[in-house]
Amino acid sequence: MNRERIQAAIAMMKDVTHRYFNMTEWQNKAHSYVLWIAQTESELQGCGNTACFAGHLALSPEFQKAGGSVSKIGAPIFNGVRYAEAVAEYFDITYKLAGKLTLDYIHFYPVDFKDVKPKHIIEKLEMILDGYYE
């Protein structure tokens, strides 16, 4: 596991405003006439889009500096893979755990997936750092 990257993701999630967070889509356009996906956090906020945890991760300077990028739908791309697999590669965790963090798995979060907030992501990332998940 890459502890430094997970710690940076925790710091990133502490700064995510609830207004721009929605776990149900990688990145969600605010209006149907918006046909463009933000490439940075400031663009996301400027156009009123929302993003899930992985969508915010894809926009983070740390992720992009490490060679990551944003797909056409706002999902992360890293080391030639997309979606949850990109999160797994970036954090050096299992695909199964990355899937639980980013996809709608039953009973991973303490609330329904659509109700997940940044604080829930932070809690799970801290649990990963503490060795709670393999």
- First CA to last CA distance, the chain: 9
Q: Residue 72 domain-assigned?
A: yes
Structure token pair of residue 45 = 């906020």
- Neighbour-count burial for 22-48, b at 16+ CB within 10 Å, e otherwise: bbeebbbbeeeeeeebbeebeebeeee
Q: Residue 119 domain-assigned?
A: yes
Q: Which residues of the chain have pLDDT under 50?
A: 34
Query: Quick check: helix, strand or coil at residue 74?
Result: coil
Please give the pLDDT value at position 31.
54
Give, as one character, the DSSP assignment of residue 25: S
Measured distance CA(33)–CA(81) in Å, rounded: 29
Measured distance CA(32)–CA(28) in Å, rounded: 10
Please give the pLDDT value at position 30.
56
Domain extent, residue 46, equals: 3-129
Please give the pLDDT value at position 43.
76
Please give the pLDDT value at position 42.
79
Please give the pLDDT value at position 32.
53
Give the DSSP H/E element, type plus range, for residue 69.
Answer: strand 69-70
How many domains does one find in the chain? Answer: 1
Please give the pLDDT value at position 11.
96
Q: Residue 43 domain-assigned?
A: yes
Q: Residue 134 domain-assigned?
A: no
Please give the pLDDT value at position 107.
84
